Amino acid sequence: MSQKFDVVVIGAGPGGYVAAIRAAQLGLKTACVEKWVSDDGKATLGGTCLNVGCIPSKALLDSTHKYHDAAHDYAVHGINIEGIKFDVEQMMARKRQIVGQLTGGIAGLFKHNGVTLLQGAGKLLAGRQVEVTAQDGSVSVVEADNVIIAAGSVPVEIPPAPLTEGIVVDSTGALEFTEVPKRLGVIGAGVIGLELGSVWNRLGSEVVVIEALDSFLGAVDQQVAKEAKKIFTKQGLDIRLSARVTGTEIDEKAGTVTVIYQDAKGEQRETFDKLIVCVGRRPSTKNILAADCGVTMDERGFIYVNDFCATEAPGVYAVGDVVRGPMLAHKASEEGVMVAERIAGKKAQMNYDCIPGVIYTHPEIAWVGKTEEQLKAAGENYKVGVFPFAATGRALAANDSAGMVKMIAHADTDRILGCHIIGPSAADLCQQVVIAMEFGSSAEDIGLTVFGHPTLSEAVHEAALAVNGHAIHMANRKKR
């Protein structure tokens, strides 16, 4: 007789493990199926985010940022360091330690909350049964009143640049380099490409970023995107737009790869020691749905769901990267909580208009809500306030004053429609505005709020004041 659960979750990434824990907290008998294993064959929780995504990449970004500061930016503080060296092996060891600590922490939370871990690959069958195929090939089936699919995503591969071990890699491979490549190519100028390019650029690699689109960071407010491109170029990233990769050639003897691409000048060729392919991610939905399970997908592999992440099959839900919307760990986690609470009978919902996005370069880029371009296209009547970090005392004191805060509000109601930041601690500053938008705040509400001095958050305060021409620490375009 098969095991029976109130909830079975397929996938233990940010959407899955959070859904499982919340369901168990609500008194539901819960199991979570995960196929990811470590090198020693043990189940590893946390999915892409904790194992080969958000967490390890941020560990490398933090390590290399500290090195770059010590090597190039401490002298202005009166700190002179000679003969500074960087140990890639130690950097990678630190990354692995952090990953191990966090993934182990999830295992502990599963145990504490009574979540049953089922190691293996999960597949949804008809009637809310879940088939679990273990690593040794053995198959078992569990039954559930409710199933949550949280299988995550995988990197997109492109035919012109097939992966070649040690030379042409995806984002996962780029986290495992054992030495700094002298010359590094990056296909894709998105979030992942810029973050990984920054890691190795800081350590001395000559980085060329090849992007097929003619615009830089098209999803980001373009005033911020233009500032970002200027800053990243100054840092040493060679960003080439309107460059479509048509092929690659591996020189096995030299251990190099030549990238062939087309731009406005015709065919171009560039040779690199390493090439990272990061042109996006796709839902990991292959082989997880039986033909008769009742769940349908679109042509790209995304599972159809409603606003509450319910599929067309009764009692079956899907969250995170396998469904519509941005592929973000925090979006997946909150969907997981929402679904668990709805299964338990609560009236939970998500505000998809208040999901922040972040790029962890330096300076960071973060945003929430609508861009100016989106509002123009929609014919919305809006107003804008911009405040530079160069006019912020705390940023100047930290020698970290590049960038700005841009606040956008409705011209008639003053309700905040979006906020876009490039600068120090942009991710954390943006979260202040996420909270404000969640409660329907106006720019005036933030302007009337007392902010500590000196803080970086004063730039948010001043940008909100600038929306209505009331900024104190810069000249206003309009006085009201």
Residue 239 · residue 194 · CB < 8 Å? no
Distance, in Å, from the CA atom of 192 to the CA atom of 52, rounded to the nearest integer, reads 12
Instruction: State the catalytic residue, choosing from 68, 453, 461, 470.
Output: 453
Q: Name the burial class of residue 110, with classes exposed (0-12), middle (13-18) and buried (19+) by CB atoms within 10 angstroms of its CB.
A: buried
Q: For strand 139-149 and strand 316-318, is the pairing parallel, antiparallel, or unpaired? A: parallel
C-alpha distances (whole Å) from 205 to each of 99, 259, 364 are 25, 17, 21
Q: 14, 65, 50, 331: which is closest to 195 by C-alpha? A: 65
Give the amino acid at 393: G
Residue 284 · residue 48 · CB < 8 Å? no
Q: 320, 331, 319: which is closest to 355 by C-alpha? A: 331
Q: For strand 404-410 and strand 416-423, is the pairing parallel, antiparallel, or unpaired? A: antiparallel
Q: Is 470 a catalytic residue?
A: no
List CB contacts of 426: < 8 A, sequence separation 6 or more: 358, 363, 364, 365, 366, 403
Distance, in Å, from the CA atom of 75 to the CA atom of 73, rounded to the nearest integer, reads 6
ω into residue 454 within 30 of 0, thus cis?
yes
Q: Name the burial class of residue 282, with classes exposed (0-12), middle (13-18) and buried (19+) by CB atoms within 10 angstroms of its CB.
A: middle
Residues paired with residue 419 on neighbouring β-strands, in sequence order: 368, 407
Q: Residue written as tokens 């500290």?
A: 66
List CB contacts of 265: < 8 A, sequence separation 6 or more: none
Question: Which phi and psi angles does 276 have, rounded to 5°?
Answer: -105, 125
Helix (H) or strand (E) holding 247: strand 244-251
| Cβ atoms within 10 Å of 105's Cβ, excluding its own | 13
Q: Quick one: how far is CA 307 from the chain centroid?
A: 22
Helix (H) or strand (E) holding 149: strand 139-149
DSSP label at residue 398: T
Q: Residue written as tokens 């841009």?
A: 406
Q: 218, 36, 225, 26: which is closest to 117 by C-alpha? A: 36
Q: Please identify every residue annotated as catalytic.
A: 453
